[in-house]
Amino acid sequence: MQNERAIRSIVIVGGGTAGWMAAAALRSALGRGSSIQLIESAEIGIVGVGEATIPAIRQFNALIGLKEAAFMRQTKASLKLGIEFVGWGDAQSRYLHPFGVYGPHNDLGDFHQLYLMLRDKGLADDIGAYSLCGQAARRGRVAAPTVDPASPLSRFTSAYHFDAILYGRHLRRFSEQLGVKRLEGEVIDVTLRSEDGFLESLTLKDGQTVSADLFIDCTGFRGLLIEGALKTGYDDWSHWLPVDRAVAVPCERVGPITPYTTSTVREAGWQWRIPLQHRTGNGYVYSSRFTTEEIATRTLMDNLDGAPLAEPRHLRFVTGRRRKAWNRNVVALGLASGFLEPLESTSIHMVHSGLVKLLQHFPDREFSPVNIDTYNRRVSEEAQEVRDFIILHYHATTRRDSEFWAYVASMPIPDSLRDRIAIFRDRGMLVSRPDELFSQSSWLAVMLGQGVIPQSYNPLADRSDPQDTAASFAALQRQIAQLVETMPDHEAFLAQNNMLD
């Protein structure tokens, strides 16, 4: 039986990826106990460029009960095993940040310290040789994830590249079937309760008024409720992450569907390449302080695999976070809560993560301030960790061949990141919280990939015999290569599993 203070009605404003993810997750989790309405405006439209994800998307899809094959067909998805970074360390460098973790599926002690010990003695290969996802990505091979910890494939994990507009439609169909009511219309006014400033109701352009106990702001960069109505404030992080524009264009797919995203350095930023079943998504994320829209567009169009399939789209953003993702009875998700450039494909995940936390902190109509503060602290911690991880890519470059790269290599960085780099340089130590989004393997991939080389390693690693350890590493490398050999080719796997549209 429901408590009399229970939330009875929820209104989500915005029907982009964030809005429909919120609708699907809240409807699935809350059952029929509360009414859920979603308001979206076709006239305003959506951003619709989020095409690359990280493996946690599998948990989101499982949370709401999406069937993988149908979801992949309907969103024309491909599998993603990591991100290839081209030119990020120095102009010639090329490394992969693979999903999963380095090392064997069974124990090899403190793998990365042993690796650093062998590397120091010239007895180890590139770190990528010890990653199952990394080797599979390079060979264009994939597998189904397994939950069996005894299987060598337990170190294999994947995410998706998908058409974000189709994903939104898929989630919409799903949510409407579960009873989410969609209202088409533009919110033009917001009424606040006089006694406490909580949101009371929204007025649509056609004169309708909609009220609710809890409002979810998914209105994109404008943050109509969280900022427009509640003036929550925004922490601007563009001094650390100076890219502030993107130009995006899809092109014809040429050649096989690579199971990884590619990020290639350009003069004032970087270019993404995201392979889908029916086309390849491309975009140049750049800083308007260091290049012009015209040059950026030309650069992008000159660097496509195949013929463009549409006119280039231009997007503007300010990197940063809303000071509070949850203010009074409004929770902001997606671009309304802040934006970090898509270098590590984290935005859609932040929507997922915000929703999981919202369910953990689900309020009643008293809206306990301590509950809201704790939610905000957790959301903000995660955003700061992701921010630091992204800044690392820029900070650790050795490039100085354009004004932009000279600037990002020398710009001040947050203390939290400076400390992480310092202890890694000193003794190869990776310090992180256990539930951080990016695992130690991810930090290791980017540190070493960008050329941050530790001066030393944990002296306890010297207790292992170097020759024996080198033999175990060589055996691991052979085992990974043999396993990859047995894995199907990406497209063959999609076809066999009825995942191709």
Chain positions contacting ligand FAD, by CB under 6 A: 13-19, 39-41, 44-53, 164, 186-187, 218-220, 222, 224, 246, 248, 283, 315, 317, 334-336, 342, 345, 347-348
- Give whichever of 45 and 459 is closer to ligand FAD, judged by the CB atom: 45
- Give whichever of 43 and 148 is closer to ligand FAD, judged by the CB atom: 43
Distance CA 353, CA 22 (A): 11
DSSP 8-state secondary structure symbol assigned to residue 488: P
Contacts of 273 (CB under 8 A, 6+ apart): 261, 262, 263, 264, 280, 281, 282, 305
Compute φ and ψ for 488, nearest 5 degrees.
Answer: -75, 155
446: its two tokens: 């980017």
Give min distance, CB of 453 to ligand FAD, in A: 30
Report whether 230 belongs to an annotated binding site. Answer: no
Distance CA 182, CA 172 (A): 9
Per the CB < 8 A criterion, the answer to whether 300 and 271 are in contact is yes
Give min distance, CB of 348 to ligand FAD, in A: 3
Distance CA 74, CA 165 (A): 11
Per the CB < 8 A criterion, the answer to whether 467 and 118 are in contact is no
Distance CA 384, CA 401 (A): 29
Give min distance, CB of 128 to ligand FAD, in A: 22
Give min distance, CB of 431 to ligand FAD, in A: 26
Distance CA 461, CA 498 (A): 47
Residue type, position 60, single letter: F
Give min distance, CB of 59 to ligand FAD, in A: 14
- Give whichever of 41 and 376 is closer to ligand FAD, judged by the CB atom: 41
Report whether 7 belongs to an annotated binding site. Answer: no
- Give whichever of 113 and 263 is closer to ligand FAD, judged by the CB atom: 263
Report whether 168 belongs to an annotated binding site. Answer: no
Report whether 355 belongs to an annotated binding site. Answer: no
Per the CB < 8 A criterion, the answer to whether 410 and 399 are in contact is no
The residue annotated as part of the active site, out of 76, 80, 324, 357, is 80
Give min distance, CB of 470 to ligand FAD, in A: 39
Report whether 320 belongs to an annotated binding site. Answer: no
296: its two tokens: 């950026």
Report whether 76 belongs to an annotated binding site. Answer: no
Distance CA 35, CA 51 (A): 30
- Give whichever of 53 and 78 is closer to ligand FAD, judged by the CB atom: 53
- Give whichever of 136 and 274 is closer to ligand FAD, judged by the CB atom: 274
Give min distance, CB of 281 to ligand FAD, in A: 8
- Give whichever of 49 and 447 is closer to ligand FAD, judged by the CB atom: 49
Given the structure tokens 């000159």, which residue do they identify?
302
Report whether 84 belongs to an annotated binding site. Answer: no
Per the CB < 8 A criterion, the answer to whether 324 and 209 are in contact is no
Where is 221: in which H helix or E strand? Answer: none
Contacts of 193 (CB under 8 A, 6+ apart): 199, 200
Cα–Cα distance list, 204 to 46, 210, 330 (Å): 18, 8, 18
80 is catalytic: yes
Per the CB < 8 A criterion, the answer to whether 37 and 218 are in contact is no
Report whether 15 belongs to an annotated binding site. Answer: yes
Residues making up the binding site for 7-chloro-L-tryptophan: 80
Just list the catalytic residues.
80
Residues making up the binding site: 15-18, 80, 187, 335, 344, 348
Residues making up the binding site for L-tryptophan: 344
Residues making up the binding site for FAD: 15-18, 187, 335, 348
